[in-house]
Chains A and B, each alone.
Chain A
Amino acid sequence: MTDTAHALTNLTLKIWRQAGPHDPGNFESYRIEEISEEASFLELLDILNEKLISEGQDAIVFDHDCREGICGTCSLMIDGQAHGPQLGTATCQLHMRKFASGAEIVVEPWRASPFPVIKDLMTDRSTLDRIVEQGGFITAPTGGAPDANLIPVPKPVADSAMDAAACIGCGACVAACPNGAANLFTAAKVAHLNLLPQGQAERYERVEGMVETMEDYFGSCTNHGECEKACPKEISIDFIALMNADYLKAKFKNRKSLSRS
């Protein structure tokens, strides 16, 4: 069994159970006698699920996949914080050593109206894909690309684009926002592409298309800054300022003379 010197004991998990999108849902309490501090938070749920199955009960549904903090599938509000208490960390990388024996831990799905609950802790985040469909790309059909070194990209620009591109699309920013806004997600994609020389041709169409699609589904940004704090990749809200600036410019730009600016 687990090495008790490195184990937590006597935990209570209050987990949101909801049979389907139209079920009102409620919290259920589960008791965990002992768990190694080496376990990840999702392994705690795995162990609990094994127990539930052995007792003939339905396992708790939750989204997860890579468990390396990169696929963005996992979610979970843990004690009211998106991805839990450790900053810059997705739920799957959160380990039990960050908790104390005797704790009561509240586990909920993302709480944001653009992400309706499907079952238990699983939500529907497909609206994020709708934003990408409306400009979150550089039009570059396969086959016609020039040599990769033809366009030099200054290192600070490439680094900054990469900082923005690190977004894993998990939706924590939306879940943490009191308005359910997706500005950090959208801004990260806009900045990734609008900073790069390759992205300039579609820069203004992109920001218009993405921002306006975002506004169809999500709430408005009022600069709370909760998104930045919740982001497991620590993406800066400076990118939101960049997106807003580009959006404003897009409304004034004469697209026919873009090459002169």
Chain B
Amino acid sequence: MMTAGTTTPDAKIPDGALADKWETYKSDARLVNPANKRKFKILVVGTGLAGASAIATLAELGYQVEAFTFHDSPRRAHSIAAQGGINAAKNYRGDGDSVHRLFYDTIKGGDFRARESNVHRLAEVSVDIIDQCVAQGVPFAREYGGLLDNRSFGGAQVSRTFYARGQTGQQLLLGAYQQMERQVGLGNVTLWNRVELVDTVVVEDRCAGIVTRDLLTGEVRSHAGHAVVLATGGYGNVFFLSTNAMACNVTAAWRAHRRGAWFANPCYTQIHPTCIPQSDEFQSKLTLMSESLRNDGRVWVPSQVDDARPPANIPEAERDYYLERLYPSFGNLAPRDVSSRAAKRAVDSGRGVGPLRNGVYLDFADSIARLGKDVVEERYTNLFEMYERITGENPYAEPMRIYPASHYTMGGLWVDYELMTTIPGLYCTGEANFSDHGANRLGASALMQGLADGYFVLPYTIGNYLAPMLNQPVPDTDHPAFAAAEAGARSRFDGYLSIGGSRSPDHFHRELGKIIWDYCGMERTAQGLEKALSEIPALYEEFRKDLRVTGSADNVNQTLEKAGRVEDFFELGMLMCRDALERNESCGGHFRTEYQTDEGEALRDDEHFAHVAAWKWTGDPAAAERRQEDLEYEEVQFQTRSYK
């Protein structure tokens, strides 16, 4: 059922050699002079790394900025939970790193499914991000001489990851948040907290603004602007259990998709190998243990099936350090997709550990013996504490138990080189877009991308769009398109309340998540995906008939908020499964069991699938149209990705 499109999206990639494209673009981009910038209003939705960095920078430049967050404070966005670090091609170690190597590692890590020009630009600006963050006072880890320290992350053979203990995301977000709050204090940014985007408004083929719902009063309200930026994060919570925060959702991106923004590669989801295994059926979320732990921890399972001995009683010879065995050159730092599948296979083979036999060990005994407990403690203290709080076990004395969990989504709204979606004037940055990580993201690259987009890319590209609009009238909130969108949103939320069924939004979310995890998780088959595509619409139908939301729409109602988010996850879930079904190959996080090598590694089909699948909304969530953007590689050659 290939519905390869006749229209190929124009990615607007600048001409010239790969390494010169960004410089060329910046030299040619139209500018808005400083005095005119205040005539333009930009609406930025989301205040994580991608949003807060854009809000701060655009306001510094002189634009009028309105910022929207559903949290009580912008500082709470989920970027805050990123633990391990941020990559940059600084080559401070002198270990052979360079912009080209970071670019290449990212393309290869993404299994040759990312856009070359975007990734190269990302690697170029990575060095500026570290400079910017240090100037803001981000307290990165230092060596005794006072210079910056680095560590290694998966998929790289150099040390290019900068970190702030196990709280790098927190510190980078606080840096961006502080810059943003400075602009709020100066009156350059209007901050809307505890409001959620419920629709985007398109007038005459251009994004004219958004409609929001106030989470405290239920007020549905329109906001008009010259441009809108969605920096609203990923959709990993479609699985119900994930490492995402409880409120993370796809609604902003999905509502834009329904208004005409194409959604790219939804099947590219990342399952992170090192999370704390599920302990009970009512579990609300899973907790990540940073990939950085794999610098010093060794992953193993017992060699024998059903070995119930405590780890300390299993002799060295009867342990299978399977990552070191299978991938000797990268060992415990094999990339995430590869490590996750290896863990799943170890557990599926009956060698899982822990009370539910649903984990593998991450063992620090060798590192503690080699480095001393103090050094290990200094590197990972908060992670070890978090593990102890959740499991009640002491990871200094016995190995951690870990298992893969949904963590990040590489797919997202399709954007061109300027980060603009297929709706003119609507931009999408950070995890919410699809552009930089291909089919698998490398560790410590999400923070890099969010900040690259917000500090160093969008502020250049948005001016190129706005410049010709100087002194041109744009639709205000009294335009009928806003009134129509508001009415639609009100009736949607009133509708949830009036169903009067018997099951809560969480109930449906959990059921949906189970289908997606079983059939569109770490391993997928055509048969399973077809099954999911018949089960999801049936469950969706039950949702529409049997949902129960208590309370009212004019007051704080977290059950009602959840209902809207779950409905959008249903529609997204169908698209994910269709995308996975039509991509007849394995690449990165998308592993179709029909397409694997004799050694069980992902088998790509570059002849037929070296493209981005971009889906166009048709009004029926089961019948989106598939378009494709062919990926043309000038600089890199396709290779079989090997970490052996």
Residues of A within 8 A of B (CB): 2, 19-20, 36, 38-40, 42-43, 46-47, 49-50, 52-54, 56-59, 61, 63-73, 86, 88-89, 93-95, 97, 118-119, 122, 124-126, 128-129, 132-134, 136-149, 151-155, 158-159, 161-162, 165-166, 168-169, 192-193, 196, 198-199
CB of B282 within 8 A of CB of A54, answer no
For residue B72, which residues in chain A have a CB less than 8 angstroms away from its CB? 63, 73, 124-126
Q: Is B7 an interface residue (CB 8 A)?
A: no
5 additional A-B pairs beyond A119-B556, A155-B143, beta carbons within 8 Å, are A68-B287, A70-B80, A155-B144, A158-B142, A198-B136
Answer yes or no: B407 CB below 8 A from chain A CBs: no
Contact of A145 among B80, B132, B142, B146 (CB under 8 A): B132
Let me know if B280 and A66 touch, CB within 8 A: no
Query: From B507, which residue of chain A is reached at the shortest CB distance?
Result: A50
Min C-beta distance of B178 to chain A, whole Å? 4
Across the two chains, which residue of chain A brings its CB closest to B142?
Answer: A158
Interface size on B, residues (CB 8 A): 82
In whole Å, how far is B216's beta carbon from the nearest beta carbon of chain A? Answer: 6
Interface residues of B in 477-519 (CB under 8 A from A): 502, 504, 506-507
Contact between A71 and B164 (Cβ–Cβ < 8 Å)?
no
Q: Does B392 contact A (CB under 8 A)?
A: yes
| CB of A34 to closest CB in B, whole Å | 11
Pick the residue among B75, B146, B459 that contacts A142 (CB under 8 A).
Answer: B459
A139 CB contacts on chain B under 8 angstroms: 182
Q: B residues 154-209 with Cβ under 8 Å of A?
A: 164-165, 167, 170-171, 174, 177-179, 181-182, 184-185, 191, 193
5 residue pairs, one from A and one from B, having the closest CB atoms: A152-B146, A133-B185, A137-B178, A145-B135, A140-B135
Contacts of B60 in A (CB 8 A): 141-142
Q: Which residues of B contact A54 (CB under 8 A)?
A: 502, 504, 548
* Contact A58–B551 (Cβ < 8 Å): yes
User: Is there contact, CB below 8 Å, between B280 and A38?
Assistant: yes
Knowing A128-B73, A136-B181, A145-B135, the reply to whether A69 touches B389 (Cβ < 8 A) is yes
When the two chains form their complex, are residues A46 and B284 in contact, meaning their CB atoms are under 8 A apart? yes
Contact A66 B555 (CB under 8 A): no
Q: For residue A61, which residues in chain B have a CB less than 8 angstroms away from its CB?
A: 556, 558
B245 touches A192 (CB 8 A): no
Cβ B164 vs Cβ A162 within 8 A: yes
Task: Please pick, from A2, A42, A67, A165, the residue contacting B139 in the complex, using a CB distance under 8 A.
Answer: A165
Map CB proximity to A onto B242-271 as digits: 1 under 8 Å, 0 otherwise.
000111000000000000000000000000
The distance from the CB of B57 to the nearest CB of chain A, in whole angstroms, is 4
Residue B148 lies at the interface, judged by CB distance under 8 Å to chain A: yes
Picked from B174, B179, B386, the residue with its CB within 8 Å of the CB of A140 is B179
B390/A65 in contact, CB under 8 A: no
Interface residues of B (CB under 8 A from A): 53, 56-57, 60, 71-76, 78, 80-81, 90, 92, 128, 130-137, 139-148, 164-165, 167, 170-171, 174, 177-179, 181-182, 184-185, 191, 193, 216, 245-247, 279-280, 282-285, 287-288, 385-386, 389-390, 392, 455-456, 459, 502, 504, 506-507, 548-551, 555-559
Q: Are B148 and A149 in contact (CB under 8 A)?
A: yes
Considering the complex, give the chain B residue whose CB is closest to the CB of A47: B282
* B179 partner, pick from A46, A86, A137, A161, beta carbons under 8 A: A137
How far, in angstroms, from A145 to B130 measured CA to CA in the complex? 9
Residue among A63, A124, A155 having the largest count of chain B Cβ atoms under 10 Å: A155
**Chain B residues within an 8 Å CB radius of A86:** 389
What residue in chain A is nearest B134 (Cβ atoms)? A148
Q: Which residues of B contact A39 (CB under 8 A)?
A: 280, 282
Partner of A71, one of B139, B245, B549: B245
Question: Bound complex: CA of A125 vs CA of B555, how far in Å?
Answer: 18
Contact residue among B216, B386, B551 (Cβ-Cβ distance under 8 Å from A93):
B386
Contact A65 B246, beta carbon cutoff 8 Å: yes
- Looking at the assembled complex, report how far the CB atom of B523 sits from the nearest CB atom of chain A, in whole angstroms: 27
Q: Cβ of B386 and Cβ of A68 under 8 Å apart?
A: yes
For A125, the closest partner residue in chain B by CB is B72
- 9 A-B residue pairs with Cβ-Cβ distance under 8 Å, sorted by A, are A46-B506, A54-B504, A58-B550, A73-B72, A126-B73, A129-B74, A133-B185, A142-B53, A166-B167
A139 to B180, CA, bound (A): 11
* Among B131, B139, B247, contact of A146 (Cβ-Cβ < 8 Å): B131
Q: Which residues of B contact A149 (CB under 8 A)?
A: 92, 147-148
Query: SS class of chain A's interface: helix, strand, loop or mixed?
Result: loop
Assuming the contacts A63-B72, A65-B71, A142-B57, asked whether A71 and B78 have C-beta atoms less than 8 A apart, the reply is yes
Of all chain B residues, which has the CB nearest A97?
B392
**In this complex, which of A52, A133, A161 has the most chain B Cβ atoms within 10 angstroms of its Cβ?**
A133
How many whole Å from B442's CB to the nearest CB in chain A? Answer: 21
Q: How far is the CB of A147 from chain B (nearest CB, A)?
A: 6
| Closest A residue to B505 using CB positions | A53
Residues of B within 8 A of A196 (CB): 137, 139
Cα-based distance from A140 to B280 in the complex (angstroms): 47
Is A67 a contact partner of B148 (Cβ separation < 8 A)? no
Q: Compute how far the CA of A46 lies from the CA of B557 in the bound complex, rounded to whole angstroms.
A: 14
Complex partner residue of A169 from B73, B145, B165, B282, CB under 8 angstroms = B73
Q: Which residues of B contact A168 (CB under 8 A)?
A: 170
B550 touches A132 (CB 8 A): no
CA of A36 to CA of B283 in the docked complex: distance in angstroms? 11
The closest CB in chain A to the CB of B171 belongs to A165
A141 to chain B, nearest CB (A): 5
Q: Which residue of B lies closest to A45 (CB)?
A: B284
Q: Say yes or no: B165 contacts A162, CB within 8 Å.
A: yes
Residues of chain B with a CB closer than 8 A to A49's CB = 559
In the assembled complex, which residues on chain A have CB atoms less than 8 Å from the CB atom of B216? 118
Chain B contacts for A124, CB-based, 8 A: 72
Among A38, A148, A151, the one with the most B-chain Cβ atoms within 10 Å of its Cβ is A148
Nearest B residue to A73 by beta-carbon distance? B76
List the A side residues contacting B81 at CB < 8 Å.
66, 68, 70-71
Contact yes or no, A66 B78, CB < 8 A: yes
CB-based nearest B residue for A164:
B139
**Minimal beta-carbon separation of B194 from chain A (angstroms):** 9
**Known contacts A118-B216, A149-B147; is A50 also within 8 Å of B504 by CB?**
yes
Which of A67, A95, A126, A158 is the one whose CB lies under 8 Å from B285? A67
Complex interface: chain A residues within 8 A of B164 (CB): 162, 165
Q: In the complex, A97→B506 CA distance in Å? A: 25
* Contact partners of A136 in chain B: CB under 8 A: 178, 181
Tell me the smallest distance from the CB of B459 to a CB of chain A, in Å.
7
Q: Select B556's contact among A94, A122, A143, A169, beta carbons within 8 Å.
A: A122
B178 partner residues in chain A, CB cutoff 8 A:
132, 136-138
* Whole-angstrom CA separation of A119 from B140 in the bound complex: 38
How far is the CB of B473 from the nearest CB of chain A, in Å?
31
Q: Is the CB of A53 within 8 A of B504?
A: yes
Look across to chain B and name the residue whose beta carbon is closest to the beta carbon of A141.
B60
* CB proximity of A218 to chain B, nearest CB, Å: 16
Question: In the complex, which residues of chain B have a beta carbon less than 8 angstroms from the beta carbon of A140?
Answer: 132, 135-137, 179
A residues near B74, Cβ cutoff 8 Å: 129
Residues of B within 8 A of A143 (CB): 128, 132
Partner of B137, one of A53, A97, A199: A199
How far does the alpha carbon of A40 sit from the alpha carbon of B330 in the complex, in Å? 36
A138 contact from B136, B171, B280, Cβ within 8 A: B136
A138 to B558, CA, bound (A): 36
Query: Is the Cβ of B280 less than 8 Å from the Cβ of A72?
Result: no
Q: Chain A's nearest CB lies how many Å from the CB of B187?
A: 10
